[in-house]
């Protein structure tokens, strides 16, 4: 039998390295919910055969963090295969109801959580300076706008301090990252077309994003879903690192030991957040001795398997507490997920975003509110 990804799946050498790095497997244990087993279901999914409950669950028991891709000696695109299986299952009407519901929220209400679109810019405070005529826009993103507004405020204050006044995108909407994770390619393309054309119609030439999900979706995925936009998508932390090097931002020392939670979509550029954190004088003690472990929230794991998702979040919390005073993140969804899990279990947590830490260092405590 031959099918898409058939050759890739056949090259599995059963080394089980992917088992060891998978956060789902770490908390679930056993030999059922492994990355390897996820890709072994592909022939059945393509054939439309009935999957067992375990096989079905396993395809959705993934944050698509990419840790398995990184270690596979056969270079099997495990996360791409999971995405493809999800696309097929969605087409067969078999995906979890929560996944369908969140996708509908994105398409109809412009955010995964179905939040009130009229409240998207409630994070804007009177001290923030925007220029509606600027050709540089700030993309807030859903999780920052509705859950972690301090990230947006710190980002704008730092930009303002360095003389940059961006505009907002009045018709900002969810970038569609969740749709891509779950193989909803037609919806993701519709989103890409509408959003790219809207931003271009404003004459915007640069979009600054703080959220790793928004950044990679708009910078990398829109080009393959639709076309290269007529604007650049820039990462706020890249801009801040450059501003620090050029003396436009001058961090003052913070007396703090920290561990950094890396963001899965940006796990190949870990140096930039570390450069910024070091500039504040904070001492970095690497989480998991430098191993990458997802927060446990993305790609539908949180709504579909809340206990597994929470258990994965607690891995980071427990580990940072053995090493540092604070957990530092640069992903609003990691912050949203981990702080929610800690609130629910009354676990103490000192978790801060890199931009917020930098704002505190450059501007003082008020810069970080």
Of the two residues 3 and 131, which places its CB atom closer to ligand SF4 in the complex?
A: 3
Contact 39, 82 (CB under 8 A): yes
Residues in contact with ligand SF4, total (CB under 6 A)? 29
Q: Which of 5, 8, 23, 153 binds ligand SF4 (CB under 6 A)?
A: 23
Q: Which of 8, 28, 45, 66 binds ligand SF4 (CB under 6 A)?
A: 66
Residue 68 in the binding site for ligand SF4 (CB under 6 A):
yes
Contact 207, 235 (CB under 8 A): no
Q: Where are the alpha helices (DSSP H) in 227-349?
A: 236-245, 271-279, 301-304, 306-321, 332-344
Tokens of 221: 């995925």
- Give min distance, CB of 33 to ligand SF4, in A: 9
Residue 358 in the binding site for ligand SF4 (CB under 6 A):
no
- Give min distance, CB of 315 to ligand SF4, in A: 12
Q: Which of 27, 42, 45, 64 binds ligand SF4 (CB under 6 A)?
A: 64
Of the two residues 81 and 356, which places its CB atom closer to ligand SF4 in the complex?
A: 81
Site stretch for ligand SF4 (CB under 6 A), options 11-19, 46-54, 197-205, 325-333: 11-19
Q: What string of DSSP letters covers 35-80?
A: HHHHHHTHHHHHHTPPPPHHHHHHHHS-----HHHHH-TT---HHH
Residue 40 in the binding site for ligand SF4 (CB under 6 A):
no
Residue 36 in the binding site for ligand SF4 (CB under 6 A):
yes
Number of neighbours of residue 53 by Cβ within 10 angstroms = 7
Site stretch for ligand SF4 (CB under 6 A), options 8-16, 192-200, 316-324, 357-365: 8-16
| Tokens 């829109």 -> residue | 222
- Give min distance, CB of 45 to ligand SF4, in A: 15
Residue 296 in the binding site for ligand SF4 (CB under 6 A):
no
CA distances from 20 to 67, 180, 263 (A): 10, 26, 19
Of the two residues 83 and 154, which places its CB atom closer to ligand SF4 in the complex?
A: 83
Buried b (16+ CB within 10 A) or exposed e, 92-106: eeebbeebeebbebb
Compute the chain's Rg from CA coordinates.
21
How far is residue 58's CA from residue 54's CA, in Å, rounded to a whole number?
6
Contact 78, 16 (CB under 8 A): no
Q: Which of 78, 152, 266, 282 binds ligand SF4 (CB under 6 A)?
A: 78
Q: Which of 79, 111, 236, 339 binds ligand SF4 (CB under 6 A)?
A: 79
* Residues 87-116 interacting with ligand SF4 (rule: CB under 6 A): none
Residue 16 in the binding site for ligand SF4 (CB under 6 A):
yes
Which residues lie below 8 Å from residue 170, measured CB to CB, with a gap of 6+?
Answer: none
Residue 65 in the binding site for ligand SF4 (CB under 6 A):
yes
Of the two residues 229 and 297, which places its CB atom closer to ligand SF4 in the complex?
A: 297
Residue whose C-alpha is closest to residue 200's, from 232, 223, 159:
232
Contact 337, 282 (CB under 8 A): no
- Give min distance, CB of 334 to ligand SF4, in A: 14
Residue 141 in the binding site for ligand SF4 (CB under 6 A):
no
Q: What string of DSSP letters covers 162-229?
A: TT--PEE-TT-----HHHHHTT-HHHHHHHHHHHHHHHHHTT--EEEE--HHHHHIIIIIHHHHT---
Residue 41 in the binding site for ligand SF4 (CB under 6 A):
no
Q: Which of 1, 2, 14, 118 binds ligand SF4 (CB under 6 A)?
A: 14
Residue 15 in the binding site for ligand SF4 (CB under 6 A):
yes
Applying CB under 6 A, the residues found at the interface with ligand SF4 are 12-18, 21-24, 35-36, 38, 62-68, 71-74, 76, 78-79, 294
């Amino acid at each position: 039998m031959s099918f898409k990804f058939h050759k890739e799946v056949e090259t599995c050498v059963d080394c089980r390295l992917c088992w060891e790095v998978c956060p789902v497997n770490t908390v679930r244990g056993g030999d059922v919910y492994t990355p390897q087993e996820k890709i072994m279901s592909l022939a059945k999914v393509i054939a439309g055969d009935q999957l067992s409950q375990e096989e079905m669950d396993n395809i959705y028991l993934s944050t698509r963090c990419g840790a398995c891709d990184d270690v596979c000696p056969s270079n099997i695109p495990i996360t791409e295969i999971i995405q493809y299986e999800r696309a097929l299952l969605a087409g067969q009407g078999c995906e979890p109801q929560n996944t369908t519901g969140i996708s509908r929220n994105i398409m109809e209400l412009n955010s995964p959580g179905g939040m009130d679109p009229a409240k998207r810019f409630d994070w804007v405070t009177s001290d923030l300076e925007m220029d509606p005529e600027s050709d540089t826009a700030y993309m807030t993103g859903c999780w920052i706008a509705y859950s972690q507004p301090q990230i947006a405020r710190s980002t704008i204050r730092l930009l303002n301090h360095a003389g940059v006044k961006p505009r907002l995108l009045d018709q900002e909407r969810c970038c569609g990252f969740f749709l891509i994770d779950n193989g909803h390619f037609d919806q993701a393309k519709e989103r890409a077309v509408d959003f790219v054309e809207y931003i271009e119609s404003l004459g915007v030439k640069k979009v600054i994003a703080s959220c790793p999900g928004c950044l990679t979706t708009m910078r990398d995925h829109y080009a393959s879903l639709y076309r290269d936009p007529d604007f650049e998508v820039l990462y706020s932390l890249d801009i801040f690192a450059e501003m620090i090097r050029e003396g436009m931002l001058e961090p003052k020392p913070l007396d703090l030991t920290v561990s950094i939670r890396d963001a899965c979509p940006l796990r190949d550029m870990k140096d930039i957040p570390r450069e910024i954190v070091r500039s504040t004088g904070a001492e970095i003690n690497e989480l998991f001795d430098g191993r990458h472990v997802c927060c446990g929230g993305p790609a539908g794991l949180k709504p579909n398997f809340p206990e597994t998702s929470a258990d994965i979040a607690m891995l980071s919390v427990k580990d940072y507490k053995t090493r540092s005073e604070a957990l530092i993140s640069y992903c609003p969804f990691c912050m949203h997920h981990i702080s929610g899990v800690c609130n629910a279990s009354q676990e103490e947590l000192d978790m801060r975003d890199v931009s917020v830490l930098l704002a505190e260092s450059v501007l003082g405590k008020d810069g970080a509110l």
